[in-house]
Chains A and B, each alone.
Chain A
Amino acid sequence: MPAKEYVGLSQINGPLIFIQKPTNVGYNEVVEIMIRNEKRLGQVVQISDQMAMIQVFEGTNGLTIDKTRVKFLGKPLMIKVSDEMLGRIFNGIGQPIDNGPEILTGDSRDMNGSPINPVSRMYPRNFIQTGISAIDALMTLIRGQKLPIFSGNGLPHNRIAVQITKQAKLKGEEAGNFAIVFAAMGIKHDEANFIRESLEQSGAIKNTIMFLNLADDPAIERIATPRVALTAAEYLAFDKNLHVLVLLTDMTNYCEALRELATARGEVPSRKGYPGYLYSDLASVYERAGMIKDRNGSITQIPILSMPNDDITHPIPDLTGYITEGQIVLNRDLNRKGIYPPIGVLQSLSRLMKDGIGKGYTRDDHPHVSSQLFASYSRVQEVKALASIIGEEELTDSDKSYLRFGEAFENEFLKQGEDEDRSIEETLDLGWKLLGYLPKIELTRVSEKEIADHYKEIKEI
């Protein structure tokens, strides 16, 4: 059926255009918009017998009511997926921008994907060693997990993400056994360049597909970017059996684009002007991670978002945390103290670690050590608060030992080099060493046997 073309619009409003009395147009179908010789893409976001409402990915700048031509393509936004995409760079809606050829071979896939049937999923249990102590010991990354980084302006989330991509490996495997899909939404050129150059240096670039929508690219396009990227990732993981690491950055810009669109549509907002369906919308992105029974690949997602005003209760980090399998929260105070990576461990969490650590996975004592480090470091915060009121000298001996432990924990355990790749054994041993600052009776989370095997009290100097 030849696609029907319409000339002229009835209305243009922000990112939306409207066409009167469309016939045979489906909800969500993709639309080609022509103005002069320029072609743009859009999508039907509401349809009735009277009117089609279309969001234009590249924005409505320069469109006219009378001359704009619109063609309905009768299918949702599809992208071509194939192996040829590895090593290539695309824009936010999947068109090549590296002067290379169009992707010609391969399957066309709906960028929205379909939900994985919960009974088809395989529960992820494989420990990924990132070489970063805080992560490996306390918020362990599991293959097939979605584990976001909650960051803020000026914090080193990109450096951490790059360090993870460089060092990530399964026990007994080489690093770099991943394909990488990198989706940028509204980030600065410098940031995108930093990530690209780092991947070039490590040689990972040939196994990487990049989708770039940068700060000066059209905002509405960002709504498609993570979906396009995940469509490619699903192909690599579930058709080609690759382990795929997907970096999505910055989800905050994505959400803002969604808000812009919702506002233009005149929808009833919920918190902070974001649409009521933000949770479901984010879930349709984040849930495209995981493993499937009888297929060998996996999708591990590391979305990055910046918390507006460092506020973790802001709807974007909040709803993200409700969907993802944990979060790595960066902390400005630690960053100010010069601690890299500045991971605020108490607010961070990996929900999947409980099934991927310990006996048969990492080391027997891992679950208890991590629980003990959390509990003790949490006590450090209370002692610090007290010390700031009554003075350190007035603290009990036990409380003083917490201060020493806290100091060492931040400077020896959290802090490490950007190229420093610690094995899980080194990390756990280091944890035990620091627990030596605390009296034995305080260690209620580890077993008596583990204490006998690993604990060595550090006497005051």
Chain B
Amino acid sequence: MDKTGEMYFINGPVVKAKKMTGFMMHEMVLVGNVKLTGEIISLEGDDATIQVYEETTGLKPGEPVSGTGDLLSVTLGPGLIGSVFDGIQRPLDVLKAQSGDFLERGVIANALDMKKAWDVQMPNVKNGDQVVGGQVIATVKETSSVIHKIMIPPSISGIAQNVKSSGKYTIDTSLMTVTSDDGDHEIKLYQRWPVRIPRPYIERLAPKEPLVTGIRVIDTLFPISKGGTAAIPGGFGTGKTVVQHQLAKWADADVIIYIGCGERGNEMTEVLEEFPQLIDPRNGKPLMERTILIANTSNMPVSAREASIYTGITMAEYFRDMGYNVALMADSTSRWAEALREISGRLEEMPAEEGFPPYLASRIGDFYERAGRAKVIGDDQRIGSVSVIGAVSPPGGDFSEPVTTGTKRFIRCFWELDRQLANARHHPSINWLDSYSEYTSELKAWVSKNVDEKFYNMRDRFMQILTEDDTLQQIIKLVGEDVLPDGQKLIVRVANMIKVGYLQQDAFSDVDSNCQLKKQDEMLKIILNYYDRANKLVSKGVVVSEVLDDDIVNTIMRMKENIPNDKIEAFKDVETKINEFFDQLDKKYQVSVEA
């Protein structure tokens, strides 16, 4: 039964084998005497090319390659949340228990704990009931934040038999047998799914609700929807990882999947040390209780890096199918693209731009298309979403390179990180002129209803001020600020207030790290009220220095740090203070206050 071929060529992570007739494309195989995990990436005649997910040192021509009969797949079931996996879903703590602090090769480990007994609730299905793919047949409280819904795997439907009652079961337990046309299926607490194939859904739905991130420049200026896609391109040190970490902390998603794809080991350690301590603002539980980490760091095998984003997105789809809003961060998709390039180079494929294979853009597209908001399969009209946020690391910080341009075609939010801003330590360094979001019109209804009707109006006014400021800055660079008329000076000063007092947001501040929409709304109002009242005076000929009172400016600049999310009412005081200041000026210059 077991098929076996013979290796005849080894070059880094790429090996070739002969006598491979009968193996499947993308079949998972075990390579060499040490049984390294690999995947078939091309078949030609009797030969196969295999990418190996572990270091190939010591492999010899003549050693065997054996089949598993399975496509490269992940195991989906209780135990995912809170785990740290490598790119092919081996749990890193299990690897550590088996081989110590340094990763060894050829270690086989179950993705999920097979021994742990879970408390399974099975209230609904009875013997003889008809069940369909996607139907929820049981629930498990996986962590304090996540109820895991056990679903019938997508392709199965039929009559339920041997239905167990609620109880404590390990994930290998058969909860019921489903009899269908093609035979009987045991339904366990877990299912397997091939990572390169998207899980099915009934229907894609339009974006409706924002994914609230707590980052002002994103939520206000360039919002992303639940089920949306965004790219964060930026040179090294511009803040991609910090933005991704912030999203993982504060985004209002039910489940977070964070993929460290070819980046630093310490950045994963940081999440591991921090998240159990941090509190999820939605429910007061530790953040780790809704998080899955996939860590394939830069020094881990390059082909597992290629697999890691598929492993991640398949898990995301699985939780989407339960009806959850899932947010997936991939840091960095460029490392994934480079892994493709490296494999392609070793296959001696004809390169397109900068050595990347010609199918780069279509692979990027396939990945981002797995995001979305959808009516999921099953019997109860659940809606779930997968939002995908990918970091892009362009060589030399040059955004015209293939991965950035390829990504731009498939995403709808572009948060461009700016080297100049990062050097000046203006963080997040998201450029407010070149970034964009295509979701604003779709999200307007929700924000108007749930936050403030005027929110997006105020947002548009911010954008207008920033755009005018940009024009004025060109003039200032040539002749200095002094020659501008007072009305324009005011715009420059208010733009500065927006940049320093609003857009800039310290991720490590106790108060300001996460800024909720209500607070954003109050801050927008304060700044625009200041601008309107100041502008009225200045346009009546009052000199601009009169309205640029140190104390007032200082109050506005510092309100983000002085007023926490749970003391929103304090903005009233700021408003009163500003209004009193202007009332006085109005009186002094006898400008009438209109309603």
Contact yes or no, A280 B9, CB < 8 A: no
Contact yes or no, B477 A352, CB < 8 A: no
Assuming the contacts A121-B266, A318-B236, asked whether A276 and B11 have C-beta atoms less than 8 A apart, the reply is no
* A354: Cβ under 8 A from any B Cβ: yes
Q: How far is the CA of A385 from the CA of B354 in the complex (A)?
A: 36
* A447: Cβ under 8 A from any B Cβ: yes
Give chain B residues whose Cβ lies under 8 Å from the Cβ of A292: 101
Contact yes or no, A120 B58, CB < 8 A: no
Of the four ranges (under 10, 10 to 19, 20 to 34, 35 or more), the interface on chain A belongs to 35 or more
* A235: Cβ under 8 A from any B Cβ: no
Of A11-19, A321-329, A418-426, the one touching chain B: A321-329
Q: Which residue of B lies closest to A112 (CB)?
A: B57
Contact yes or no, A374 B424, CB < 8 A: yes
Q: Which residue of B lies closest to A280 (CB)?
A: B302
A415-446, CB < 8 A from B: 440-441, 444-445
Give chain A residues whose Cβ lies under 8 Å from the Cβ of B524: none
Give chain A residues whose Cβ lies under 8 Å from the Cβ of B16: 48
Q: How far is the CA of A323 from the CA of B298 in the complex (A)?
A: 8
Give chain B residues whose Cβ lies under 8 Å from the Cβ of A351: 237
Contact yes or no, A448 B558, CB < 8 A: yes
* A394: Cβ under 8 A from any B Cβ: yes
B228-269, CB < 8 A from A: 235-237, 260, 262, 264-266, 268-269
Contact yes or no, A396 B480, CB < 8 A: yes
Q: Which residue in B272, B299, B396, B500 is a CB contact (below 8 Å) of A313?
A: B396
Q: How far is the CA of A52 from the CA of B20 in the complex (A)?
A: 23
Contact with B along A339-359 (1 / 0, CB 8 A): 000000011010110110000
Q: How far is the CA of A355 from the CA of B299 in the complex (A)?
A: 23
Rounded to whole Å, the gap between the CB of B118 and the closest CB of chain A is 23
Contact yes or no, A279 B335, CB < 8 A: yes
Give chain B residues whose Cβ lies under 8 Å from the Cβ of A118: 84, 92, 260, 265, 268-269, 272, 295, 297
Contact yes or no, B57 A279, CB < 8 A: no
Q: How far is the CA of A261 from the CA of B8 in the complex (A)?
A: 23
* A26: Cβ under 8 A from any B Cβ: yes
Of A33-41, A156-164, A242-250, A283-291, the one touching chain B: A283-291
Q: Which residue in A267, A318, A374 is a CB contact (below 8 Å) of B395?
A: A318
* A458: Cβ under 8 A from any B Cβ: no
A76-127, CB < 8 A from B: 76, 110, 112-124
Q: Which residue of B lies closest to A278 (CB)?
A: B338
Contact yes or no, B477 A386, CB < 8 A: yes
Contact yes or no, B425 A276, CB < 8 A: no
* A269: Cβ under 8 A from any B Cβ: yes
Contact yes or no, A26 B59, CB < 8 A: yes
Q: Counting chain B CB atoms within 10 Å of each CB, which of A277, A284, A314, A321 scores highest?
A: A277
Give chain A residues whose Cβ lies under 8 Å from the Cβ of B553: 441
Contact yes or no, A267 B102, CB < 8 A: no
Give chain B residues whose Cβ lies under 8 Å from the Cβ of A389: 477-479
Give chain B residues whose Cβ lies under 8 Å from the Cβ of A270: 341, 354-355
Contact yes or no, B298 A117, CB < 8 A: no
Contact yes or no, A27 B297, CB < 8 A: no
Contact with B along A118-152 (1 / 0, CB 8 A): 11111110000000000000000000000000000
* B465: Cβ under 8 A from any A Cβ: no
A34-66, CB < 8 A from B: 46-49
* B580: Cβ under 8 A from any A Cβ: no
Q: How far is the CA of A441 from the CA of B424 in the complex (A)?
A: 18
* A25: Cβ under 8 A from any B Cβ: yes
Assuming the contacts A47-B10, A121-B269, A371-B425, asked whether A313 and B398 have C-beta atoms less than 8 A apart, the reply is yes
Rounded to whole Å, the gap between the CB of B289 and the closest CB of chain A is 18
Contact yes or no, A123 B482, CB < 8 A: no
Give chain B residues whose Cβ lies under 8 Å from the Cβ of A367: 508
* B61: Cβ under 8 A from any A Cβ: yes
* B162: Cβ under 8 A from any A Cβ: no
Contact yes or no, B266 A352, CB < 8 A: yes
Give chain B residues whose Cβ lies under 8 Å from the Cβ of A193: none
Rounded to whole Å, the gap between the CB of B500 and the closest CB of chain A is 5
B285-330, CB < 8 A from A: 295, 297-300, 302
Contact yes or no, B354 A327, CB < 8 A: no
Contact yes or no, B58 A115, CB < 8 A: no
Give chain A residues whose Cβ lies under 8 Å from the Cβ of B561: 447
Give chain B residues whose Cβ lies under 8 Å from the Cβ of A385: 477
B1-20, CB < 8 A from A: 8-12, 16
* B594: Cβ under 8 A from any A Cβ: no
Give chain B residues whose Cβ lies under 8 Å from the Cβ of A121: 265-266, 268-269
B165-217, CB < 8 A from A: none
Rounded to whole Å, the gap between the CB of B85 and the closest CB of chain A is 10
Q: Which residue of A lies closest to B8 (CB)?
A: A49
Give chain B residues whose Cβ lies under 8 Å from the Cβ of A326: 237
Of the four ranges (under 10, 10 to 19, 20 to 34, 35 or more), the interface on chain B belongs to 35 or more
* B146: Cβ under 8 A from any A Cβ: no
Contact yes or no, A120 B423, CB < 8 A: no
Contact yes or no, A267 B302, CB < 8 A: no
Assuming the contacts A48-B9, A276-B342, asked whether A283 and B299 have C-beta atoms less than 8 A apart, the reply is yes
Q: Counting chain A CB atoms within 10 Å of each CB, which of B12, B237, B506 scores highest?
A: B237
Give chain A residues whose Cβ lies under 8 Å from the Cβ of B96: 117, 119-120
Contact yes or no, B272 A46, CB < 8 A: no
Contact yes or no, A444 B62, CB < 8 A: no
* A268: Cβ under 8 A from any B Cβ: yes
Give chain B residues whose Cβ lies under 8 Å from the Cβ of A267: 345
Contact with A along B1-45 (1 / 0, CB 8 A): 000000011111000100000000000000000000000000000
Contact yes or no, B355 A120, CB < 8 A: no
* A271: Cβ under 8 A from any B Cβ: yes
Q: Counting chain A CB atoms within 10 Å of each CB, which of B10, B59, B264, B550 scores highest?
A: B264
Contact yes or no, A375 B299, CB < 8 A: no
* B486: Cβ under 8 A from any A Cβ: no
Q: Which residue in A76, A117, A277 is a CB contact (below 8 Å) of B58?
A: A76
Contact yes or no, B482 A394, CB < 8 A: yes
Contact yes or no, A280 B298, CB < 8 A: yes
Give chain A residues whose Cβ lies under 8 Å from the Cβ of B335: 279
Contact yes or no, A290 B345, CB < 8 A: no
Contact yes or no, B10 A27, CB < 8 A: yes
Contact yes or no, A441 B550, CB < 8 A: yes
Q: How far is the CA of A351 from the CA of B264 in the complex (A)?
A: 11
Rounded to whole Å, the gap between the CB of A277 and the closest CB of chain B is 5
Give chain A residues whose Cβ lies under 8 Å from the Cβ of B273: 123
Rounded to whole Å, the gap between the CB of B321 and the closest CB of chain A is 28
Contact yes or no, B345 A268, CB < 8 A: yes
Q: How far is the CA of A282 from the CA of B500 in the complex (A)?
A: 37
Q: How far is the CA of A389 from the CA of B479 in the complex (A)?
A: 7
Q: How far is the CA of A422 from the CA of B2 in the complex (A)?
A: 69
* A335: Cβ under 8 A from any B Cβ: no
Contact yes or no, B265 A290, CB < 8 A: yes
* B363: Cβ under 8 A from any A Cβ: no
B73-105, CB < 8 A from A: 84, 92-93, 95-96, 100-104
* A315: Cβ under 8 A from any B Cβ: yes
Contact yes or no, A283 B59, CB < 8 A: no
Give chain A residues whose Cβ lies under 8 Å from the Cβ of B479: 389-390
Q: How far is the CA of A320 from the CA of B267 in the complex (A)?
A: 16
Assuming the contacts A290-B265, A315-B395, asked whether A48 and B10 have C-beta atoms less than 8 A apart, the reply is yes
Listed by A's residue number, 12 A-B pairs whose Cβ atoms lie within 8 Å are: A26-B59, A114-B103, A119-B92, A123-B266, A277-B342, A280-B302, A287-B265, A313-B395, A352-B266, A378-B424, A395-B480, A441-B553
Q: Which residues of A contact B (CB under 8 A)?
A: 24-29, 46-49, 75-76, 110, 112-124, 238, 267-271, 275-277, 279-280, 283-284, 287-288, 290, 292-293, 295, 313-315, 318-319, 321-323, 325-327, 346-347, 349, 351-352, 354-355, 367, 371, 374-375, 378-379, 385-386, 389-390, 394-396, 399, 440-441, 444-445, 447-448
Q: Which 4 A-B pairs have the closest CB atoms?
A: A283-B298, A313-B396, A378-B424, A287-B299
- Contacts A267-B345, A287-B265 known; 19 new A-B pairs at CB < 8 A: A25-B60, A48-B10, A49-B9, A112-B55, A114-B102, A116-B102, A119-B84, A119-B93, A121-B266, A123-B269, A276-B345, A279-B298, A283-B297, A322-B236, A367-B508, A371-B506, A379-B424, A389-B478, A394-B482
